[in-house]
Amino acid sequence: MLLKDIVRLVEGTPLNPEVDMDIKIRGGCGADLMSDVLASSQPKAVLLTGLTNPQVVRTAQIAEIRAIILVRGKQPQAETLAIATQENMPLITSPFGMFELCGRLHSAGLPSFESHVPSS
């Protein structure tokens, strides 16, 4: 799925439209725990999160997330936006909550990119 189609589905606002938005997204994952993102996400996913600090971008970069959507219309901290732009990571804010957004993207055909991790 193209990122611009995802932006339309989540009725999102790109916060750094100057970065390359013309990219393909293979799946999605939603998490507020950065360790969960690192532990279970697969590369080339979009990340839905309620966190807005710079670590979101760093975590996404390390986990090879392709774009970040902030839920509930949250606005990122200034450093977060600066790092996202510098690292070429699209940052989008959507007015909807996590559950609604996961539902919208999943029913539009975007698969879950959260892999099963044994609990111990």
Partner 1 sequence: MCPPARTPTEQEKHGRHGRPITDQDAHDISRVEELSYDLKIREVMTAEVKTATPEMPLSKVLEILRLNRISGLPVVEHDKLVGVLSLEDIVRALQRNELSAPTSQYMTPDVVTVASYDSIVTAIRTFTEKQLGRLPVVDENHRLVGMITKGDITRGILVALQKDYKEEQVRRYRASHLFEDIISDRTTLVLRYTIKAGDFTQGGKASSYIKRALLRLGADPRITRRCCIAVYEAEMNLIIHTTNGGILKLEVEPHRITMSAADDGPGIADTEMVFQPGYSTATEHVREMGFGAGMGLVNMKRCVDEIKLESSVGKGTKLIMRIFIPDQTVGVSRDG
* Interface positions with partner 1 (CB under 8 A): 17-18, 20-24, 31-36, 38-39, 43, 49, 51, 53-59, 61-64, 79, 87, 117, 119-120
Max Cα–Cα distance, the chain, nearest Å: 42
Kindly state the smallest distance separating residue 12's Cβ from partner 1, in Å.
Answer: 15
- 59 or 94, CB closer to partner 1? 59
- 51 or 102, CB closer to partner 1? 51
Kindly state the smallest distance separating residue 94's Cβ from partner 1, in Å.
Answer: 18
Structure tokens at 56: 């979101």
- 51 or 71, CB closer to partner 1? 51
Single out the residue of 99, 63, 100, 68 nearest to residue 81, CA to CA.
68
Kindly state the smallest distance separating residue 38's Cβ from partner 1, in Å.
Answer: 5
- 11 or 87, CB closer to partner 1? 87
CA-only gyration radius of the chain, Å:
13
> What residues contact 59, with CB distance under 8 A and at least 6 apart?
34, 37, 38, 65
CA-to-CA dists, residue 87 to 18, 55, 59, 67, 69, angstroms: 12, 13, 12, 11, 16
Kindly state the smallest distance separating residue 36's Cβ from partner 1, in Å.
Answer: 7
